[in-house]
C-alpha cells in the first residue's frame, strides 16, 4: 500500500512537472502529500471547474514544505459548523453561479431549516452541506452517482434519521425511512425506478427540511395529486380537519408508510371519526356502492367485448368506449375526497351507462351472428337433403334399369 502510494506520488510529480494532468494541477503540491484526497477530489464536479484544494482550505499549494503549505489563510475545516458558510462563499455568489445557471439560495434556505437553525445554535449533530453532498466527492445533483440523486436521497437522510440513539435525543421517530421504503412511494421510486414518485425532499423541501404543518399537507401532496386535492378543498374536510388539528391527507393515509387503500375501506374509515350509523357513514357507503356498481358494469362490458373480439366481431369502437368508461371511473376516486355524493354520482353514472350500453350492443351483435350461423346451418341441411334426394332418385332409377 505504502509502496503503491509512493509510486502514485512519483507519477503525480512527473505529471505536475509535465503539466499534463488538469486534476493534478488543481491539487498542486497538496496532492503530493494527500494522495487520497487528491484522488477522491479528482472525480468531483468541482475539479472540472477550477475549484482547487486552496479554494476551500486556503494555504499555499506551491510548496513542499508542510508548515508553509498550511500557513496563512489555511483552514483544516475540522469544525463542521463552519462548513456551510465556507461553501456559501461561492454558492451564494450570484455572479459566479449564474454562469452555470445554478440557484444561489441554498445557504439562505438552509438557514431557515430545522437543520440550519440547530447548527446556528451550535448543535453539531444536525445536517450540514457535506453530510448530504460529501466534501471531496461531490457530483452534480442530477448525476446518478450523487448522494443527492433522487434514488439515493432516502439513504443519505437515513444516516441520521434511522439512527435510533440520535433521533431519540430530539424526540423524533427513527422509523421514517423504513416506513417510507415500505410505503407505495418508496417502493415505486426505489424498486420500480419511477422517478415521478416522491423522495424525502419532494415533501420536505431540498434545503428547507421542515415537516409540512397542518394546513400545508394538502399542498405538498397536491403538487402531484392535483385532482384529489381539488376535491378535498371543495368538500368539508379541509376546513373541518385543519380546525380539528388533523394532518389532512396524512390523517387517513399516514405520511411515510402510505399504502394504496381499497375502495371498500371508505365504509370502515368514516366510522372511525364519525361513529357507527352516522349520516357520514351512510354517505360513505353510498359512494362505495356507486363506485362498486359502476366498476362491475364496466368489467362485464369489457369481458363481453373480448368475447366478441374472439368471435371475430368488429369491436374497435367498443374498446374505445370501455377506455372512456374507465377514465370516468378513475375520476371517481379523487372526487370521493370531496365526501359529497353529487360529483361521484355524476362520473359513476357516466361510466356505468357506457358499460351497460356496450353490453347491449355486443349482445345484439352476438345474437345477430348466432342467427346468421343458424341460417347457414339451415340452408346447409336443405342443400344436403336435396343432394341426398337427388342421389336416391338416381340410384332408384339406376336400380330400375338393372331390374
Ligand atoms: C509536504 C507535505 C504536505 C503538503 C505539501 C501539504 N500537506 Fe496537508 N498535511 C500534511 C501533514 C503531514 C498533515 C498532518 C497530518 C495530521 O496532523 O494528522 C497535514 C494535514 C492537513 C489537513 C488536516 C488539517 C487538520 O486540521 O487536521 C488538511 C485539511 C490539509 N493538510 C490540507 C492541505 C492542503 C489544502 C494543502 C495544499 C495547500 C496541503 N495540505 C499541503 C502534509 C502536507
Ligand atoms: C469543496 C471544498 C473542498 C475542496 C475543494 C477540498 N476539500 Fe479537503 N476538506 C473539505 C472539508 C469540508 C473537509 C472536512 C470534512 C471532512 O473531513 O470531510 C476536508 C477535509 C480534508 C482533509 C482532512 C480529512 C481527510 O480527508 O483526510 C484533508 C487532508 C483534505 N481535506 C485535503 C484536501 C486536498 C488535498 C484537496 C485538493 C485535492 C482538498 N482537500 C479539496 C473541503 C474541501
Ligand atoms: C470556490 C468556489 C466553490 C466552493 C468553495 C464550493 N463550490 Fe460547489 N461548485 C462550484 C462550482 C463552480 C460548481 C460547478 C457548477 C457546475 O458545473 O454546474 C459547483 C458545483 C457544486 C455542486 C453541483 C451542482 C449541480 O450542478 O448539481 C454541488 C452539490 C456543490 N457544488 C456543493 C458544494 C459544497 C457542499 C461545498 C462546500 C463543501 C461547495 N460546493 C463549495 C464552486 C464552489
Ligand atoms: C439535508 C441534506 C442537504 C443539505 C444539508 C444541503 N443540501 Fe444541497 N442539495 C440536497 C439535495 C437533496 C439536492 C438535490 C436537489 C434536486 O435534485 O433538485 C441538493 C442540491 C444542491 C445544489 C444543486 C443546485 C440546487 O440548488 O438544486 C447545490 C449547489 C447545493 N445543493 C449546495 C448546498 C450547499 C452549499 C449546502 C449548505 C449550505 C447544502 N447544499 C446543504 C441536499 C442537501
Ligand atoms: C447529519 C445528520 C442528518 C442528516 C444527514 C439529515 N438530518 Fe434531518 N435532522 C437531523 C437532526 C439532528 C434533526 C433535529 C434538529 C432539531 O430538531 O433541532 C433533524 C431534523 C429534521 C427535520 C425536522 C423534524 C422535526 O419535526 O423537527 C426534518 C423534516 C428533516 N430533518 C429531514 C431531513 C431530510 C429530508 C434529510 C435528507 C435530505 C435529512 N433530514 C438529513 C439530522 C440529520
Ligand atoms: C409524501 C410526502 C413525504 C415524504 C416522501 C416524506 N415525508 Fe417526512 N413527513 C411528511 C409529513 C406530512 C410529515 C408530518 C406529518 C404530521 O405533521 O403528522 C412528515 C414528518 C417527518 C419528520 C418528523 C417526524 C417526527 O417524528 O415528528 C421527519 C424527520 C421526516 N418526515 C423525514 C423524512 C425522511 C427522512 C423522508 C425520506 C425517507 C421523508 N420524511 C419522506 C411527508 C413526507
Ligand atoms: C377521510 C380520509 C381521507 C382523507 C382525508 C384523504 N384520503 Fe385519500 N383516500 C381515502 C380512501 C378511503 C381512499 C380509497 C378509496 C378511494 O379511492 O376513494 C383514498 C384514495 C386515495 C388515492 C388513490 C386513489 C386515486 O385517486 O388513484 C390517492 C392518490 C389519495 N387518496 C390521495 C389523497 C390526498 C392527496 C389527500 C389530501 C388532499 C387525501 N387522499 C385525503 C381516504 C382519505
Ligand atoms: C412527487 C409527487 C408526489 C407527491 C408529492 C405525493 N405523491 Fe402520492 N403518489 C405519487 C405517485 C407517482 C404514485 C404512484 C406510485 C405507483 O403506483 O407506482 C403515488 C401514489 C399514492 C397513493 C396510492 C395510489 C393508488 O393507486 O393506490 C396514495 C394513497 C398517495 N400517493 C397519497 C399521497 C399523499 C397522502 C401524499 C402527501 C403526504 C402524496 N401522495 C404525495 C406521487 C406523489
Ligand atoms: C380522521 C377523522 C375523519 C375521518 C376518517 C372522516 N372524517 Fe368526515 N369529518 C371529520 C372532521 C374533523 C369534520 C369536521 C367536523 C365535523 O363536522 O364533524 C368532518 C366533516 C365531515 C362532513 C361534513 C359534516 C357537516 O355536518 O358539515 C362530512 C359530510 C364528512 N365528514 C364525511 C365523511 C365521510 C363520508 C368519511 C369517510 C369517507 C369521513 N367523513 C371520514 C373527520 C373525519
Ligand 4 atom closest to 199 (CA): 12
Quote the ligand 7 centre to 174 CA distance (angstroms): 26
Nearest of 47, 69, 231 to residue 136 by alpha carbon: 47
Q: What's the rounded mean pLDDT across residues 189-218?
A: 92
Is 91 a pocket residue for ligand 9 (Cβ < 6 Å)?
A: no
**Per-residue pLDDT, 205:** 93
The number of the ligand 5 atom at minimal distance from the alpha carbon of 167 is 12
Residue among 224, 157, 218, 227 nearest 195 (CA) = 224
Give the tens place of pLDDT for each residue, 352-366.
Answer: 999 999 999 988 887
Of residues 205, 204, 228, 208, the one with CA closest to residue 218: 228
Residue 3 has pLDDT above 60, yes or no: no
Query: What pLDDT score does 319 carry?
Result: 93
* pLDDT score at 22: 47
**Which of 89 and 5 is assigned the larger pLDDT?**
89
- pLDDT tens-digit readout, 13-28: 444 443 334 445 567 8
* pLDDT tens figures, 47-102: 998 899 999 999 999 999 999 999 999 999 999 999 999 999 999 999 999 999 99
Contact 363, 325 (CB under 8 A): no
Cell of 212: 409540512
Nearest-angstrom CA–CA distance, 315 and 334: 30
Report residue 370's pLDDT band, with 50, 70 and 90 as the boundaries: low
For residue 209, the model assigns a pLDDT of 84
The residue whose grid cell reads 424498486 is 191
Length of the chain: 403
Q: How far apart are CA 93 and CA 103, in angstroms?
A: 9
End-to-end CA distance of the chain: 118
Comparing C-alpha atoms, which of 186, 341, 188 is closest to residue 279? 341
**374 falls in which pLDDT band (50, 70, 90)?**
low
Phi, psi of 230 (to 5 degrees): -60, -45
Whether 46 lines ligand 5, by a CB cut-off of 6 Å, is: no
On whether the CB atoms of residues 319 and 378 are closer than 8 A, the answer is: no
Q: Is 28 in the pocket of ligand 9 (CB under 6 A)?
A: no
Pocket test for ligand 3, best of 90, 92, 153 (most atoms within 8 A of CB): 90
Query: Does the pLDDT of residue 298 top 60, yes or no?
Result: yes
- Identify the pLDDT of residue 375: 66
How remote is the C-alpha of 310 from its chain's centroid? 38
Give per-residue pLDDT as tens, 304-318.
999 888 888 888 899
How do residues 114-124 score in pLDDT, each as one tens digit?
Answer: 999 999 999 99
Ligand 3 atom closest to residue 130's alpha carbon, by position in its atom list: 35
Nearest Cα residue to atom 15 of ligand 9: 240
- Nearest ligand to the CA of 110 is 4
> From atom 36 of ligand 6, which residue's Cα is the shortest distance away?
200
Average model confidence (pLDDT) across the chain: 89
**Measured in angstroms, how far is the CA atom of residue 183 from the centroid of ligand 9?**
25
Q: How far does residue 273's CA lie from ligand 9's centre (Å)?
A: 7
What pLDDT, in 10s, does the model give residues 103-113?
A: 999 999 999 99
Q: Which of 179-188, 243-252, 358-367, 392-401 comes out lowest in average pLDDT?
A: 392-401
User: CB–CB of 328/385 below 8 Å?
Assistant: no
Longest CA pairwise span in the chain (Å): 138
For residues 87 and 111, the answer to whether their CB atoms sit within 8 Å is no
Which ligand 8 atom sits nearest the alpha carbon of residue 187?
18
Judged by its nearest atom, the ligand closest to the C-alpha of residue 210 is 5
Residue pointed to by grid coordinates 405520511: 255
CB 204 within 8 A of CB 219: no
> Is 172 in contact with 163 (CB distance < 8 Å)?
no
Instruction: Find out whether the beta carbon of 156 lies less than 6 Å from any atom of ligand 5.
Output: yes
Rounded CA separation 332/336 (Å): 6
* Residue 328 vs residues 218, 262, 333, 343: alpha-carbon distances, Å: 23, 18, 9, 11
Residue nearest to atom 34 of ligand 7 (CA): 249
User: Whose alpha carbon is nearest atom 30 of ligand 2?
Assistant: 37
C-alpha cell at 215: 394546513
Per-residue pLDDT, 210:
85
The Cα 55–Cα 51 span in angstroms is 6
Ligand 1 proximity of 12 Cβ (cutoff 6 Å): no
Cell numbers describing residue 256: 411515510
| Residue % of the chain over a pLDDT of 90 | 72
Amino acid at each position: 500500500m505504502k509502496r503503491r502510494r509512493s509510486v502514485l506520488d512519483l507519477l503525480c510529480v512527473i505529471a505536475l512537472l509535465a503539466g499534463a494532468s488538469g486534476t493534478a494541477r488543481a491539487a498542486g503540491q497538496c496532492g503530493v502529500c494527500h494522495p487520497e484526497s487528491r484522488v477522491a477530489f479528482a472525480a468531483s464536479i468541482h475539479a472540472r471547474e477550477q475549484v482547487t484544494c486552496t479554494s476551500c482550505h486556503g494555504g499555499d499549494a506551491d510548496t513542499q514544505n508542510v508548515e508553509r503549505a498550511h500557513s496563512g489563510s489555511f483552514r483544516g475545516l475540522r469544525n463542521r459548523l463552519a462548513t456551510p458558510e465556507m461553501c456559501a462563499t461561492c454558492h451564494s455568489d450570484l455572479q459566479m453561479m449564474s454562469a452555470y445557471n445554478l440557484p444561489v439560495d441554498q445557504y439562505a434556505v438552509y438557514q431557515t431549516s430545522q437543520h440550519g437553525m440547530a447548527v446556528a445554535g451550535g448543535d453539531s449533530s444536525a445536517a450540514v452541506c457535506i453530510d448530504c453532498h460529501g466534501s471531496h466527492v461531490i457530483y452534480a445533483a442530477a448525476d446518478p452517482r450523487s448522494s443527492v440523486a433522487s434514488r439515493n436521497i432516502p439513504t443519505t437522510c437515513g444516516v441520521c434519521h434511522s439512527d435510533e440513539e440520535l433521533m431519540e435525543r430530539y424526540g423524533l421517530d427513527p422509523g421514517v425511512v423504513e416506513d417510507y421504503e415500505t410505503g407505495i412511494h418508496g417502493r415505486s421510486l426505489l424498486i420500480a425506478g419511477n422517478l415521478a414518485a416522491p423522495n424525502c425532499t419532494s415533501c420536505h423541501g431540498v434545503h428547507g427540511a421542515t415537516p409540512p404543518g397542518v394546513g400545508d399537507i394538502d399542498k405538498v401532496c397536491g403538487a402531484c395529486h392535483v385532482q384529489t386535492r381539488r376535491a378535498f378543498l371543495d368538500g368539508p374536510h379541509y376546513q373541518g380537519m385543519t380546525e380539528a388539528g388533523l394532518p389532512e391527507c396524512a390523517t387517513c393515509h399516514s405520511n411515510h408508510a402510505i399504502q394504496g387503500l381499497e375502495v371498500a375501506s371508505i365504509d370502515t374509515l368514516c366510522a372511525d371519526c364519525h361513529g357507527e350509523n352516522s349520516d357520514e357513514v351512510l354517505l360513505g357507503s353510498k359512494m362505495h356502492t356507486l363506485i362498486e356498481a359502476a366498476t362491475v358494469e364496466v368489467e362485464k362490458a369489457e369481458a363481453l367485448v373480448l368475447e366478441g373480439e374472439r368471435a371475430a366481431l368488429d369491436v374497435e369502437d367498443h374498446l374505445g368506449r370501455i377506455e372512456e368508461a374507465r377514465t370516468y371511473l378513475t375520476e371517481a376516486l379523487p372526487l370521493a375526497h370531496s365526501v359529497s355524493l353529487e360529483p361521484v354520482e355524476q362520473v359513476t353514472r357516466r361510466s356505468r351507462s357506457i358499460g351497460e350500453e356496450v353490453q347491449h350492443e355486443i349482445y345484439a351483435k352476438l345474437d345477430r351472428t348466432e342467427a346468421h350461423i343458424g341460417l347457414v346451418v339451415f340452408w346447409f341441411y336443405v342443400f344436403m337433403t336435396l343432394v341426398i334426394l337427388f342421389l336416391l332418385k338416381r340410384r332408384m332409377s339406376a336400380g330400375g334399369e338393372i331390374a
